[in-house]
Amino acid sequence: MRFSRRTLLRGALATTVASALPQFSFAAQSLELGNARIDTLSDGNLVLPLSFVSDDPKAAPILKDYGITGPEVEPPCNLTLYRDGTNTVLFDVGAGPDFMPSAGKLQAALDALEISRDDVTHVVFTHGHPDHLWGVLDDFDEAIFANAQHLMGKTEFDYWINPETVNKIDAGRTTFAAGALRRLQTLEDQFTTFGDGEEILPGIASRMTPGHTPGHMSFEIRNGSTSAMVTGDAIVNHFLAFAAPGMMAGSDQDPDLGAKTRVALLDQIASEMMPIIGFHLPEGGLGHVERVGDAYRYVPEV
């Protein structure tokens, strides 16, 4: 397998494709996996209160070690594009224009790779949070990826399309539920659901990784003798999630379950020495996991 790193959409290309964002550069990483290719695409970044990471007092020294001392964090958003010569698969679709002004930049990243929306054959969702789902519709409430089959785990799909979820979810996430409900109802006929452990496409197997959301899925991509794990938000940052994986995360809807899921997932990835592709990990989100005593370290591929 071979890694490469490039910076896309600079200079003249940045002016033509993303003239409204002259300071924004779309960094991508790529990985050759057997005879297939994986690229990570930047959708921009989020701006979140530090409490969304953790409010555990034990987190403070770890955050300080990583230079995180302010009231906010700005996690990057990395989407994954997989091409095997037959299928062009996009994992998550980003935030679109309605969530945060710093996110929703996927179209420019696709343009930089000369990938059109019509080229995408499948859109696979890790979960239903805004930065992963809300970019699925255009301004006319039609599918952005009109030619693509849309796939989401059944537990996750059923949770967000249930009209009662907006009344049961905690108050800080009611807009998440309302936004997911509208989008899933609009495109319900275009969605296919699946369960844990299914091969949803050749070489792509689902892995239930709940806690961040009730039906969050990760995906093991295997081509030939090599594999990589798309973790979505099961591993949501490169600091606390690795240095203290058992610590509860403020962004998880079920923090206790999320911690248990994270510990098990990191153990597998490190033991099998497979590349990890994380939605909110730095430097394009593609790297590997090293054990450090009872904890772990994220090492980006650059």
pLDDT in tens, 71-118: 999 999 999 999 999 999 999 999 999 999 999 999 999 999 999 999
Structural domain contains residue 172 = yes
pLDDT, average across residues 201-219: 98
> In angstroms, rounded to a whole number, what is the distance separating the alpha carbons of residues 283 and 288?
12
Q: Are 196 and 210 in contact (CB under 8 A)?
A: no
Structural domain contains residue 299 = no
3-state secondary structure of 153: strand
Structural domain contains residue 302 = no
Residues 6+ apart with CB under 8 A from 161: 180, 181, 184, 185, 188
Structural domain contains residue 104 = yes
Structural domain contains residue 69 = yes
Q: Are 284 and 39 in contact (CB under 8 A)?
A: no
pLDDT of residue 224: 85
pLDDT, average across residues 274-281: 97
- Asked whether residue 205 carries a pLDDT value surpassing 90, the answer given is yes
pLDDT of residue 1: 47
pLDDT in tens, 165-182: 999 999 999 999 999 999
110: tokens are: 């696709």
Neighbours of 201 (CB within 10 A): 21
What's the total number of domains in the chain?
1
Structural domain contains residue 297 = no
Domain enclosing residue 32, as ranges: 2-292
Structural domain contains residue 232 = yes
pLDDT of residue 26: 57
Calculate Rg over the CA atoms of the chain: 18
**Mean pLDDT of the residues in the chain:** 91
Q: Is the pTM of this model over 0.85?
A: yes
pLDDT, average across residues 225-253: 96
Structural domain contains residue 101 = yes
Helix axes 174-186 and 154-161, enclosed angle (nearest 10): 110
pLDDT, average across residues 226-255: 96
Kindly report the CATH number assigned to the domain that includes residue 169.
3.60.15.10
- Asked whether residue 52 carries a pLDDT value surpassing 90, the answer given is no
For the residues of 101-139, what is the DSSP string, one character each? Answer: TTB--HHHHHHHTT--GGG--EEEES--SHHHHGGGB-T
